[in-house]
Structure 1
């Protein structure tokens, strides 16, 4: 990623929302909308029953869902999305075993300069195949991805599958570990974040977020490890990996002093304590210099094993 954060860089993701179940419906708990005030207002007036709209579909089908066109679809806020220039969305359900904790929804616009990737990989016959994805202007990379599959342990999706833990890849265009390096380099993709998505029924899903310099998904990524073998009995998490456009690597190895966050302390601690994604915009609690922060808890066997955060 670039060594500085450029003020005029447009983010790949324009809206991020957290929908939580309450009395049998999904209600908006938090969101980051930038200057899309009318779409925010429409969202605050909306709720979703199970199976209704994009969040409700992810809840009912117990899987991540990609929607690359709103017209004529089950998307409920089509008119408001069109006025805001939003054209695609991804819904990621957050389950603790069979309990739905929340649905994280990200929405993007489509133009000739907006490049990045949000991919859903699903296990099929012993391989991870592309279930669906949104790529913006990265059309060739999308085609390559549709014709690529991963055995356990190979590439970013296969590595996440094998480890059952988040992974962060740097220098996608030149990294030998990234199977699609050549096409990633041509698309300008630089950083890849892979996340295991736990759903009832044991189906394997991996979410990958691939960030480009010109329209980054985030300027800063952090991976916090909350597994008992790493932190002991105390409900806390330690920084396991991270990268920042300004600072470079945020964690360089076991010799570095441990960075630890306790449950309920700060935004990362809130995601760890509640098991629910956190989205904050323009708050003093954010790391200086960022407008929006998203913290996504990763559940394994009913507890939070990791918290992954990104900052824009």
Structure 2
């Protein structure tokens, strides 16, 4: 158990927020700010109209948005972010059909040690191309990614595109399925999570999060399938895949894990249809301090829940 509690000195993602529509504005529903109490206070006093700030920009454009620098930008909390050492962010809208359910915002700090990737891919001429991404100090991997296109079904983004399901990939530096394996290995990237981001219209977006051992995005990832599972008389979800930095694979065909609506973090997403982000939440696996759980919709229904723990 000591190994589980051996936290990395730096996290790739510093802040994660959930903004939900309330009338004509987005208001803060939940967030994990780590020790950035000043930024948390400022954020709790904010709301965003469509097109305003990073959450409002994702709402207005109806797609994931990457903002690599705050100075001189439409970001509304620049002074507080600067005081907290935050330098970049990614906003991901969560749609059920044409209805906006929430906007997830992740904010990162920049230094020479943080390695990882948060990427947004979109379809163009029958290929997936990089819309934008944040890579920290992984500059060579960023360059490789900018010059890599994925056909339907190839690599992590292409696999998510073809299956329209979330996917986990292990051993990115040596895995033959990961197209950028050589540059990923050199950057120290180990685990990849990809998920489809449904948006209104016919545009395809795929979000990928690539985690490195020294500055991980998370130490545990889970994919829950809510399409067919039932727990008792209510629709629940079954663990379809999962990996933990200490425990290894979490999925066991002979001993499947189920969760019911409103039971624990995953159940809260199933019950509410909204993302759930919290630090110190009850029901977390032993040794973890925070959770991010996101619904993946097919039409108006939650089809999957993707979660990661730190």
Sort the TM-score into its range (normalised by shorter chain): over 0.9
Check the 8 A contact 1:243/1:249 in 2, yes or no: yes
Distance (Å, rounded) in 1 between the aligned partners of 2:274 and 2:93: 10
Distance (Å, rounded) in 1 between the aligned partners of 2:146 and 2:62: 23
TM-superposed deviation, 1:93:
0.2
Check the 8 A contact 1:5/1:246 in 2, yes or no: no
TM-superposed deviation, 1:274:
1.4
The residue that corresponds to 2:287 in the other structure is: 289
Distance (Å, rounded) in 2 between the aligned partners of 1:170 and 1:7: 20
Gap regions ≥5 residues in structure 1: none
Q: Which of 300, 303, 310 in structure 2 is aligned with 1:302?
A: 300
TM-superposed deviation, 1:272:
1.2
TM-superposed deviation, 1:6:
2.7
Matched residue of 1:40: which SS? helix
Matched residue of 1:149: which SS? coil
Per-residue deviation, residues 57-85 of structure 1 (Å, max 9, x unmatched): 10010000000000000000000000000
Matched residue of 2:117: which SS? strand
The residue that corresponds to 1:95 in the other structure is: 95
* 2:38 matches 1:35: no
The residue that corresponds to 1:217 in the other structure is: 217
Matched residue of 2:141: which SS? helix
Distance (Å, rounded) in 2 between the aligned partners of 1:273 and 1:218: 24
Distance (Å, rounded) in 2 between the aligned partners of 1:9 and 1:210: 18
Check the 8 A contact 2:17/2:105 in 1, yes or no: yes
| TM-score relative to the length of structure 1 | 0.96
Check the 8 A contact 1:224/1:240 in 2, yes or no: yes
Q: Which moved more, 1:207-216 or 1:264-273?
A: 264-273
Per-residue deviation, residues 120-158 of structure 1 (Å, max 9, x unmatched): 000011100000000000000000000000011000000
Matched residue of 1:276: which SS? coil
Distance (Å, rounded) in 2 between the aligned partners of 1:8 and 1:145: 26
Within a 5 Å distance, the mapping from 1:37-56 to structure 2 comes to 37-56=37-56
The residue that corresponds to 1:280 in the other structure is: 278
The residue that corresponds to 2:142 in the other structure is: 142
TM-superposed deviation, 1:260:
0.5
The residue that corresponds to 2:86 in the other structure is: 86
The residue that corresponds to 1:242 in the other structure is: 242
Distance (Å, rounded) in 2 between the aligned partners of 1:20 and 1:282: 21
TM-superposed deviation, 1:284:
3.1
TM-superposed deviation, 1:202:
2.2
* 2:21 matches 1:21: yes
| TM-score relative to the length of structure 2 | 0.97
* 2:263 matches 1:265: yes
Matched residue of 2:173: which SS? coil
Distance (Å, rounded) in 1 between the aligned partners of 2:190 and 2:198: 26
Check the 8 A contact 1:5/1:245 in 2, yes or no: no
Aligned residues: 307
Within a 5 Å distance, the mapping from 1:100-119 to structure 2 comes to 100-119=100-119
Check the 8 A contact 1:102/1:277 in 2, yes or no: yes
* 2:147 matches 1:164: no
Distance (Å, rounded) in 2 between the aligned partners of 1:5 and 1:273: 30
Matched residue of 1:209: which SS? strand
TM-superposed deviation, 1:5:
5.3
Gap regions ≥5 residues in structure 2: none
Distance (Å, rounded) in 1 between the aligned partners of 2:7 and 2:48: 36
Residues 1:99 and 1:126: Cα distance change in structure 2 (over 3 Å):
same
